[in-house]
Amino acid sequence: MNRQRYRGVLVVGVVMVLMVSSLVFPWAVQAAGKPVKLRVISAWAQNNKMNDALWILQKKVRENSKGRLVLVWGGGPEAIPSFQLVEALRNGVIDVAWTAHTYNVAQLPVVEGAKLSTMTPWDERKTGVADFYRKIYWNKLNAYYLGRGTPGLSYNLYTVTPVRSLADFRGMPVRVTPAYKAFAQALGAVPVATDPGEVYSALQRNMIKAYGWPSLGIGDLGWDEVTKFVMEPSFYQVDVIGLVNVNAWNKLPKDLQDVLNVSMQATEREAYDHFKKLVQEDRQKLRKKGLKETRLTRAESDKYLRTAYEASWKEVLKKDAKQGAILRSLLGKKPGK
């Protein structure tokens, strides 16, 4: 009778330990069987090139975790609108957001300065820039900052008329987004806000004479048919990033957190080369279709870039002087110093 009672107490004790472990350490049960799955929502449709690094990251995470951690595609802006994505992440509706600093300016004004970085992602980690993003996203938006998704990708201005000097921009109607509106205004252009779906017809009807866009992809939208010139040099950096909800992050065991971090850093390096190659290939296609590159004199090019960065820094500092000054200082550091 005592032996049976002992066995009963032992069984109950084991069951209780398993129940508590599954509640407090859910990955302990999952690691033994099913993988941990993190649902990812992107600010872009599934076939958009802004997701290219996400697919690289997805593969690396699966391989580096030996299948224990999986990033699952949960949809694009059809699931959650791009500008609402970070709020869904903050509230725990999703696990991972593949978004852009630009989409989060309403919540974190200082991240408007992220596009002004001239560093690689690995240099941003050395100089404390990545830590700065990690801190503000964690404190303000319940998010863990993973890293950058479009390293090596910048912006260009595209025009329908040749630009021989910066004076040619005065009075020119230019389609803008918040990312480079201040730049266009500083050039003396007239900013015009239109949805991407309206750009083609706006160019056809001469409602706009120029527009800004990343350094690849206008052919995918058909805009190469109504565009004559691409301005050089390029400017800014496209600021796609990966963010993880703080609760989803905290539930991961340390080794899977390490897998995510290591995989993201490896992804950044691979994506850097990937986008550099894509830009070169895209430019060759545009040349074959008759698009020409506009190159200003050295002095005008320097002034062009100086105008781009000074105009945007003014906007950043206007919105958040304290944090903006910190970010500008960090982005001005030399790696290793």
Question: What's 326's domain CATH number?
Answer: 3.40.190.170
Residue 6 falls inside a structural domain: no
Q: Is residue 7 part of a domain?
A: no
Q: How many domains does the chain have?
A: 2
172 and 303: one domain? yes
Mean pLDDT computed over 271-284: 97
15 within some domain: no
pLDDT at residue 22 is higher than 60 = no
- Asked, for residue 21, whether it belongs to a domain, the answer is no
Domain shared by 162 and 242, yes or no? no
Quote the mean pLDDT of the chain: 91
> pLDDT at residue 28 above 60?
no
Average pLDDT on 24-52 reads 79
Rounded to whole angstroms, the Cα distance separating 44 from 77 reads 6
Please state the pTM of the whole predicted model.
0.87
What domain range is 48 assigned to? 26-151+238-277
Write the burial class of residue 96 (CB in 10 Å: 0-12 exposed, 13-18 middle, 19+ buried). Answer: buried
Where do runs of H (alpha helix) occur along the chain? 2-24, 26-32, 52-64, 85-90, 121-127, 129-141, 181-186, 199-204, 246-251, 254-288, 298-319, 321-331
Domain identity same for 40 and 172: no
Average pLDDT (266-293) is: 97
- Residue 280 confidence class, pLDDT cut points 50, 70, 90: very high
Q: Note the pLDDT of residue 288.
A: 95
Is 271 among the domain residues?
yes
Q: Which residue has the tokens 């329908």?
A: 160
- Mean pLDDT of the 302-311 span: 98
Q: 256 lies in a domain?
A: yes
256 and 325 within one domain: no
Residue 5 lies in a domain: no
Block residue for tokens 């649902």: 39
Tell me the mean pLDDT in the region 203-224. Answer: 95
Mean pLDDT of 302-327: 97
Distance CA 26, CA 19 (A): 10
